[in-house]
Chains A and B, each alone.
Chain A
């Protein structure tokens, strides 16, 4: 089992470029999440999807869009990247309310 797979692992963008971060899980979990991690800020929730067909804003949604394509896949899109979006992005999944999060290995994104 791969668990939670994020692609790409590294990405460098120029300001204004767009890109999509992909996340796929093979654990049949209902809920999926996108976090960003910045030094001194911890992990901040960008968007989440409690179940297939639903998405909701988290703490820092501005500048991002998401798509829950199916139960397995949850993508994060930056339409016009800004240097403030330089960060490490983690996708995570959750089986149920009382369960721990399962994390992908992260995507290191630099916006120049």
Chain B
């Protein structure tokens, strides 16, 4: 069975602080993809990053970085020097190639960035 766990329900930080959002996943598949999506207060879902199960390289995109570790089944997301515009709900998701490319989401982490 597939499962995605985001243990942090809400995080509150002050602007310019660094913050890490945790994601732990479970799957029996050897081939799978992990994703992060952002949902700002407007409600739409915005794709942030995709990582396949064979690529454990960390990735940095501006103030965003992602740390994928298969040994701990984790795919954590760090925002450096947070800004008020980063306030949103962030979802981690897992897609595997069995069962018709079913994509399962974690419960989400709501991030509040205060000025």
Contacts and interface: CB of A to CB of B under 8 A. Distances in A.
Interface of A: 31, 33, 35, 40-45, 48-51, 54, 56, 58-59, 88, 90, 92, 94, 96-101, 103, 105-106
27 contacts: A33-B103, A35-B105, A40-B108, A42-B91, A42-B106, A42-B107, A42-B108, A43-B91, A45-B102, A50-B100, A56-B102, A59-B104, A88-B43, A90-B45, A92-B103, A94-B103, A96-B101, A97-B33, A97-B95, A98-B33, A98-B50, A100-B50, A101-B37, A101-B45, A103-B44, A105-B43, A106-B43
Given A40-B107, A97-B95, A105-B44, 15 more contacts: A31-B100, A33-B103, A42-B6, A43-B91, A44-B105, A45-B103, A45-B105, A48-B102, A58-B102, A59-B104, A88-B43, A94-B103, A101-B35, A101-B45, A103-B44
Contacts of B9: 40
A103 B45 contact: yes
How extensive is the interface on chain B, given as a class?
20 to 34
B104 A97 contact: no
Contacts of B95: 94, 97
Nearest to A106: B43
Nearest to B2: A59
B45 A50 contact: no
A35 B104 CA distance: 10
B41 interface: no
A41 B107 contact: yes
Contact of B35 (A35, A41, A45, A100): A100
Given A97-B33, A100-B47, A43 B105 contact: yes
Nearest to B39: A37
Contacts of B103: 33, 45, 92, 94, 101
